[in-house]
Amino acid sequence: MPSAVVALALVGCSLPAGDYFGRVPGPGEIDPTHFRWCSQGEPDHLDPTLASSTVSSQLVVTLFDGLTVYGTDGLPVPGLATHWEITDDLRRFTFHLRRDARWSNGRALTAYDVAHSAFRVAHPSTASPNADTLAAIKGATAHLTRRVFVMRRAVGGLLAGEVVELAGEGAPGDVASLVEARTASRPLALRDLGAPASTAYAIAPPGTAVALWMTTGGRATLPSPDGEVWAYVFWQRDVEGVGGWVPARELDGEPGGDRAVEVRRAAPSDTPSWLARATSDDRTRQAAAASSSAPASSGARERTSAVAVHARDLAYSTDAIGIAVPDPYTIVFETADPTPYFLSLTTNRALRATPIEAWSRWPRRWDRPERIVTSGPFHLVAWEERDRVELVRSPTYWDRGAVRIERFTSLSMDDQAASTNSYFTGACDATASNTIPSSYLPAINGEQRGGRAYKDYDVSPFLTVYFAWIQTRKLTSRHLRRALSLAIDRSAIARFTHGGELPTAQLTPGTPIAQLSDADRAACGVARDAPGFALVMITGQLCYVPPPGLDHDLEAARREIALARAEGGVPDHPIEYRYNAGSEAHKQIAEYLQASWAKIGVEVRLTAQDWNSLLDDTHRGDYEISRLGAAGTIADTESEFLAIFRCDSPDNRGKYCSPAFERLMDEARGLTDRRARNAKLREAEAVMLEDAPVLPIYVYTQKHLIKPYVRNYAINVVDQPPLWRIVLDEGWGAR
């Protein structure tokens, strides 16, 4: 049926009769081996390290296995890891991997793959938008921001193997580049570990500078295959670059080695305990040897004053990150502070292993069908940009017998009307969440059918908040930003979106307090008639109640805009608001915000962009205000919603940086009492919301269309249905 006819039906002229909105195939028409999915749009990447959108995430977790994976309820269940141990202080997490996991190229998947992928995420040259996931791991953020190094030799009271941080002048990035830099007097053949030079896939000319990322034999790097030390280097030969292994002895030049650098012993929070113990033991032996009559050192790691060293005395080393691989099937993570949510983080993209032999050759383009190497239930065979992504059941997946679908087609449809019309005509078996135009919803949700929603329509809770993100370096006036938030009457928005969205000025989403069970209400410490939301973290036991935010108050908005004008904080040009094209709701909300801000004298220009361009521009900070949102993968505001507002967050698109917010977040992460921790996080969130770098609009609901023959489409609150578990019941109508 043509789109125009469908649209006409949906505005009430002739709604589809019967129980189902979309066309339902008859007997013999269902192909039980092929699932067709109307996605939310074009994925930005299928590389777990670089993927940043919801569209990409749902495909990434289907292509790549994780230490844990999402169960049908959205909670972590065993994946690559069969079991794990967590210490009582919630600081050490040990995972034991299965022995039968394989990459699609047939190679065994080991703990080294997980570690090397994490190191790639934590390296600043990668520019991974998922690095926040690793922030809890000791030394990961310090490595990402190039603040810490490992001593290669003893100098001035600092021991070999000790973790140090910069203490003198000089940009960390410049110092790290000097420390990493290596050259070779002969051509440098980049290849797979242990391979002969004749198999090189890139050759750097003599004297070419390369960056040393890691060497064999580290705490979490592969052992040498031949007894010789091998080095993994990165050569920025073009925009993409290339990485590879070389014998370390071939790196005979250190062009920055003579540079003087001041360092001091790093803080314990940036020093993995196994390195701290080793250097402490060395210091104890050193003290005992110096004076047999002196008492042995206690091993305490006092901070030292600055010590002058040379760049060649330092290594920009993965050993400074709290990840260890004691054997090929065990990986240990150490966090700087108690991290009660770490297990849930292992479902995340950042900790999905990627094969070093693939991403080394094409660091930003190895996720193409002709190059990709995968480990999950499905394997990529075609990617037609702006059209479709084609997956097939992986013959190497360890649990392939549980995968009932042979072929999975994801239609890249960022136009909601096209997606819903395709479902209506039977071109797809289900739609991704929230791909239904708001103008269609009154027909589908039953408003135009006497309250009878179609049976193939589902609306469910969603741990996601819709907001307008402000680039605070461009709109620097706090009063202006506060005025923009106070001018929005959020209660009006759900009247034209028709999806049951829940208006909020709170950042952290959750369950409306009025809908909480008695046990959860008691855990949250709130009355049933209290406004707003609460995030239930452990049913009946632990709850986070976010601060209220700057909700609608037009008179207060006018006072704030007057203060902004008085300080010269209102631009003399129309402020640009960006949103992604193809969604009626995004356009309607943009127009509503434009009208709301006009009431306080702020002129706004609207710009629609395709989704990936919007992501790229906002990641660079090339915008003033943009529609975006935050989708939680676990019920924890610290890791999921507040982390992106930290100064050094790679996904801090608004460039917000508040010393008060940083201090409170730091204080929270040192607390083992989770209720006290939540109280401190609430203080931090309140500080951030008062500064208004972000304008929360509403808490999402998930809206899906699912054919009646689709089984095991497990909708969960984090919108991560394990799509590989789906079964298509070809005999459904006979029952």
Q: Mean pLDDT throughout 692-699? A: 96
User: DSSP state, 137?
Assistant: B
Q: What distance in Å separates the CA atoms of residue 106 and residue 397, rounded to the nearest whole number?
A: 10
pLDDT at 279: 66
Here the tokens at position 389 are: 């992504």
CA separation (Å) from 143 to 94, 212, 356, 598? 22, 14, 20, 45
More confident residue, 718 or 293: 718
Query: What contacts 281, CB < 8 A, 6 or more positions away?
Result: 299
Judging by DSSP bridges, how do beta strands 625-631 and 575-580 pair with one another?
A: parallel
Q: Mean pLDDT throughout 351-376? A: 97
- Look at residue 300 and tell me whether its pLDDT is greater than 60: no
More confident residue, 288 or 588: 588
pLDDT at 301: 47
153 pLDDT tier (thresholds 50, 70, 90): very high
495 pLDDT tier (thresholds 50, 70, 90): confident
Report pLDDT digits (tens) over 67-78. Answer: 999 988 888 999
Identity of residue 256: G
Categorise residue 552: left if φ over 0, alpha if ψ from -120 to 50, beta otherwise.
beta
* Angle value at C-alpha 161, between 157 and 163, nearest 5 degrees: 80
Q: What distance in Å separates the CA atoms of residue 658 and residue 669, rounded to the nearest whole number?
A: 17
Q: Which domains does the chain have, with CATH numbers?
A: 3-65+347-429+706-734 (3.40.190.10), 113-289+298-330 (no CATH), 461-508+546-702 (3.10.105.10)
pLDDT at 286: 54
**Segments of 632-674 assigned E as strands:** none
Q: Mean pLDDT throughout 257-267? A: 94
Judging by DSSP bridges, how do beta strands 407-411 and 34-38 pair with one another?
A: parallel
- Look at residue 142 and tell me whether its pLDDT is greater than 70: yes
Q: What percent of the chain has pLDDT over 90?
A: 76
- Look at residue 12 and tell me whether its pLDDT is greater than 90: no
User: DSSP state, 379?
Assistant: E
* Angle value at C-alpha 119, between 652 and 236, nearest 5 degrees: 85
pLDDT at 7: 43
CB 54 within 8 A of CB 341: no
pLDDT at 716: 85
Give the SS3 label for residue 102.
strand
14 pLDDT tier (thresholds 50, 70, 90): low
| 435 class by beta-carbon count within 10 Å (0-12 exposed, 13-18 middle, 19+ buried) | buried
| 364 class by beta-carbon count within 10 Å (0-12 exposed, 13-18 middle, 19+ buried) | middle
HSE value, Cβ hemisphere, 13 Å, CA-based, for 332: 15
304 pLDDT tier (thresholds 50, 70, 90): low
Sign (positive/negative) of CA torsion 367, 369, 374, 380?
positive
Between the two ends of the chain, the Cα-to-Cα distance in Å is 29
Determine which of 171-175, 334-338, 563-567 has the lowest per-residue pLDDT on average.
171-175
Q: What distance in Å separates the CA atoms of residue 239 and residue 582, rounded to the nearest whole number?
A: 31
Report pLDDT digits (tens) over 95-138. Answer: 999 999 999 999 999 999 999 999 999 999 999 999 989 999 99
pLDDT at 6: 41
- Look at residue 13 and tell me whether its pLDDT is greater than 50: no
pLDDT at 168: 75
- Look at residue 64 and tell me whether its pLDDT is greater than 80: yes
